[in-house]
Amino acid sequence: MGSGQVTSSVPSGPSEFQGKHVTVAGLGVSGLPAAKALHARGAIVTAVNDGDDARAREQAAELEALGITVRLGDTGSISGSAAGTLPEGTELIVTAPGWQPGKPLFRAAEEAGVPVWGDVELAWRLRGPDAAPWLAVTGTNGKTTTVQMLASILKAAGLRTAAVGNIGVSLLDTVLGDEKYDVLAVELSSYQLHWAPSLRAYSGAVLNLAPDHLDWHGSMDAYAADKGRIYEGNKVACVYNVADPRTEDLVRQADVEEGCRAVGFTLQAPAVSQLGVVDGILVDRAFVENRQQNAQELAEVSDVDPPAPHNIANALAAAALARSFGLPAQAVRDGLRAFKPDAHRIAHVADIDDVAYVDDSKATNTHAAQASLAAYEPIVWIAGGLAKGAEFDELVADSAKRLRGVVLIGADRALIREALARHAPEVPVVDLDRTDTGAMLQAVTEAKRLARPGDTVLLAPACASMDMFTNYNQRGDAFAAAVRELGA
């Protein structure tokens, strides 16, 4: 246990790319810095992009000014006429994480024996010999919160760090920038992990696994396998969720460095080599001397904001990664106290007539909604949107006893209504046949009518937002605005 550097993978030098024909697939947050970094290292770069909108053209002009060839709108779509065409001479593809493996461009690359990397793989290979080690987090839900908690803990210990990766901060920009870090808190999506074959984190965590993005991965097994890549080559700890045995299975399947340990987190009293909760205290029985007999108090449950069960689990996972890096208990406590969650993550909006209104618009799938619903009782639930192929029977069956009433919105609300009819037929349901943004005020008004003093009106849609809103942020803002109007 300690804070040494990862040495299991030798970073590539600039000479690797000199004169090499590289195709960058996708512009945006990852593609633009990838194209620039490769060009600066002497690669002959061609950038291709699905879209041909104003933003893409602006980015294309920026790259073309550097002498980079750009092709817009002709190679990305599966049905496009040039979709299967590799730019001539391509020796490597660096792809944006969201591009699906089944795209003809990648099928053509496979047939030609051309490797495909993601931006994370490129960042890993370009990091310097004295680069900061990575503490990496993935999972279906809770990644961003856990990484932010981890960064807060690392900062509380006086370390130079940043929360980067899928959180919206380019890993490539981070590793190639002038700022020096002691350690990085890295959020990684299943997409990013799929395209990162040589990544070797100092310690990694899989928070949970639930069906998500199956259209991209093709199956739950493939999705889980990509998540499990985060454990490959771990140096100190593979952190898993005791309540989700599939995460521990992924640890067993991983090829790690000699001496790397499996470390579980649980909301119960921890066993040896676990972190858990005892009498409202977060405790560590993994990174202590004589862990058969001893445990280290880290923080109180009340130090976690908000102290909902799934957020306590996030805090324990963050603490486990921090402790694997040798941090003291005080840094865990101070970091958790300093952490403030992002908007739209089980955020308390207001109390009106002794009813709490809570915004968890970020709950865009059934697993996230289930965690949110488990934090309150009784609940008037506002749900619905784009289901993304999800089924709702398990969610409704598990949450039925908590429901005072349900208000449904969005394009796929019928799927939730049918699950409610099967598993919670006694719960009153208001089905709003609207998908305009103004429907949220009516939804909140109906929820207020159903609620009684002591209840919680909870926006936890279990669906994506794009049928009615630009994103989950706009949906949460609409909910909060409606609540404020109701209380005015």
132 and 279 in a common domain:
yes
106 and 24 in a common domain:
yes
How long is the chain?
A: 488
Domain boundary among the residues 321, 338, 355 is at 338
At residue 6, the pLDDT reads 31
In this structure, what CATH number is given to the domain that contains residue 464? 3.90.190.20
- The answer to the question of residue 8 being in a domain is no
At residue 16, the pLDDT reads 87
- The answer to the question of residue 119 being in a domain is no
Q: Please state the domain count of the chain.
A: 3
Edge-first strand order for the sheet with 21-25 is: 69-72, 44-49, 21-25, 92-95, 116-118
Domain boundary among the residues 93, 114, 135 is at 114
At residue 85, the pLDDT reads 77
Q: CA of 66: how far to CAs of 21, 72, 88, 95, 122, in Å?
A: 16, 17, 20, 20, 20
290 and 145 in a common domain:
yes
In this structure, what CATH number is given to the domain that contains residue 64? 3.40.50.720
136 and 90 in a common domain:
no
At residue 81, the pLDDT reads 33
318 and 207 in a common domain:
yes
200 and 269 in a common domain:
yes
What residues of the chain score a pLDDT lower than 50? 1-14, 75-83
374 and 332 in a common domain:
no
- The answer to the question of residue 382 being in a domain is yes
- The answer to the question of residue 3 being in a domain is no
283 and 358 in a common domain:
no
At residue 175, the pLDDT reads 94
At residue 187, the pLDDT reads 97
At residue 214, the pLDDT reads 64
177 and 281 in a common domain:
yes
Instruction: Provide the domain limits for residue 188.
Output: 127-338
Three-state secondary structure string covering the chain? CCCCCCCCCCCCCHHHHCCCEEEEECCHHHHHHHHHHHHHCCCEEEEEECCCCHHHHHHHHHHHCCCCEEEECCCCCCCCCCCCCCCCCCCEEEECCCCCCCCHHHHHHHHHCCCEEEHHHHHHHHCCCCCCCEEEEECCCCHHHHHHHHHHHHHHCCCCCCEEECCCECHHHHHHCCCCCCCEEEECCHHHHHCCCCCCCCEEEECCCCCCCHHHHCCHHHHHHHHHHHHCCCCCEEEEECCCHHHHHHHHHCCCCCCCEEEEECCCCCCCCEEEEECCEEEECCCCCCCCCCCEEEEEHHHCCCCCHHHHHHHHHHHHHHHHCCCCHHHHHHHHHHCCCCCCCCEEEEEECCEEEEECCCCCCHHHHHHHHCCCCCEEEEECCECCCCCCHHHHHHHHHHEEEEEECCCCHHHHHHHHHHHCCCCCEEECCCCCCCHHHHHHHHHHHHCCCCCEEEECCCCECCCCCCCHHHHHHHHHHHHHHHHC
Domain boundary among the residues 114, 149, 168 is at 114
In this structure, what CATH number is given to the domain that contains residue 143? 3.40.1190.10
- The answer to the question of residue 320 being in a domain is yes
471 and 413 in a common domain:
yes
333 and 352 in a common domain:
no
- The answer to the question of residue 368 being in a domain is yes
- The answer to the question of residue 68 being in a domain is yes
- The answer to the question of residue 9 being in a domain is no
293 and 175 in a common domain:
yes
